[in-house]
């Protein structure tokens, strides 16, 4: 069997993903108890960041430290990628020195080419197309608060972006129904939407999307690199704020998630993200535990 990568949720089977979430819950309990567990002692994770992130860097770095290994942070100024070295060459060199590579970048194609030439597992920590690591944390959080998400209804409200694409993959892999509410012009990629089949539908009204939902989730209106579009996006997305009125359409025991950073008063009202249905802080913490389970699966599998 060749080197295994994690570039999207579709790289693991549904059963493997479920096992990974349950393992993440175990690792969380184990860590909280103070039990020492170092399966990656003397192993090294290379972390390539072309887009900065608080949660991604800290969670992966802490994961490697807690597992007894080490993480090397590489910004564009710290690698030859920033000076135009072909990604294929960097992949060949780096993968001879480290045990795993995590990449957070713009173009999904770059992660795919890196993985093609890498001799070690490659993890997609965000591209313009997908954000599978965040979905692992989201699915773990739902599992902890409400049990299996199989057969539930999820409302995605906002931009049809990389997070939305990974939610479409999650609907396929975890078998739930996803309602996507986007303003016209900001729909998810038609191919990604179509691949989800009857597990996903596109609506325009956020209240319709949230009706009877078990989980309501959103993201910022302008992601990193879209700052110049902020004013135009703010006008387009204004009706798509997750307000208490939108949450009132969902089931009474519905939970709210946001991958953070959040802008109160834009994509989400303060009463929602700081309210009793919000699980965003558990969701943020679970980046650590779900990614530890992922690293273990990629590096410790027999």
Catalytic residues: 104, 131, 134, 219, 259, 287
3 contacts 298 by C-beta, under 8 angstroms: no
**Sheet of strand 70-74: strand arrangement:** 70-74, 44-49, 100-104, 122-124
Measured distance CA(211)–CA(251) in Å, rounded? 7
Measured distance CA(225)–CA(56) in Å, rounded? 17
Vertex 140 angle, CA 167 and 186, to 5°: 20
Phi-psi region of 250 (alpha: psi -120 to 50; beta: other; left: phi over 0): beta
Measured distance CA(216)–CA(141) in Å, rounded? 13
254-292 as b/e, with b when 16 or more CB fall inside 10 Å?
Answer: bbbbbbbebeeebbbbeebbeeebbbbebbbbbbbbbbb
- Give the burial class of 250: count Cβ atoms within 10 A of its Cβ; 0-12 exposed, 13-18 middle, 19 or more buried: buried
49 contacts 74 by C-beta, under 8 angstroms: yes
H/E segment holding residue 254: none
In the 8-state DSSP scheme, what is residue 9? G
């Amino acid at each position: 069997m060749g080197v295994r990568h994690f570039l999207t949720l579709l790289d693991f089977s549904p059963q493997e993903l479920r096992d990974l979430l349950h393992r993440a819950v175990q690792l969380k309990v184990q860590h909280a108890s103070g039990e020492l567990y170092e399966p990656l002692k003397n192993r090294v994770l290379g972390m390539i960041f072309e887009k900065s992130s608080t949660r991604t860097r800290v969670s992966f770095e802490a994961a490697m430290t807690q597992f007894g290994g080490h993480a090397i942070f590489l910004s564009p100024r710290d690698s030859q990628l920033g000076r135009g070295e072909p990604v294929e060459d960097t992949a060949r060199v780096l993968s001879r020195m480290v045990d795993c590579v995590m990449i957070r970048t713009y173009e999904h194609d770059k992660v795919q080419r890196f993985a093609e030439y890498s001799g070690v597992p490659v993890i997609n920590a965000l591209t313009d197309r997908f954000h599978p690591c965040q979905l692992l944390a989201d699915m773990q959080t739902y599992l902890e608060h409400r049990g299996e998400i199989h057969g539930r209804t999820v409302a995605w409200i906002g931009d049809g972006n990389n997070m939305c694409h990974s939610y479409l993959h999650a609907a396929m892999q975890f078998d739930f129904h996803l309602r996507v509410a986007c303003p016209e012009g900001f729909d998810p990629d038609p191919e990604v939407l179509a691949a989800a089949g009857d597990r996903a539908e596109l609506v325009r009204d956020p209240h319709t999307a949230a009706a009877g939902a078990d989980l309501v989730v959103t993201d910022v209106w302008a992601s990193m690199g879209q700052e110049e579009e902020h004013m135009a996006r703010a006008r387009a997305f204004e009706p798509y704020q997750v307000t208490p009125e939108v949450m009132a359409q969902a089931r009474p025991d519905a939970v709210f998630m946001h991958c953070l950073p959040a802008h109160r008063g834009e994509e989400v009202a303060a009463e929602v993200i700081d309210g009793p249905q919000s699980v965003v802080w558990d969701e943020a913490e679970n980046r650590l535990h779900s990614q530890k389970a992922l690293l273990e699966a990629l590096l410790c599998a027999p």
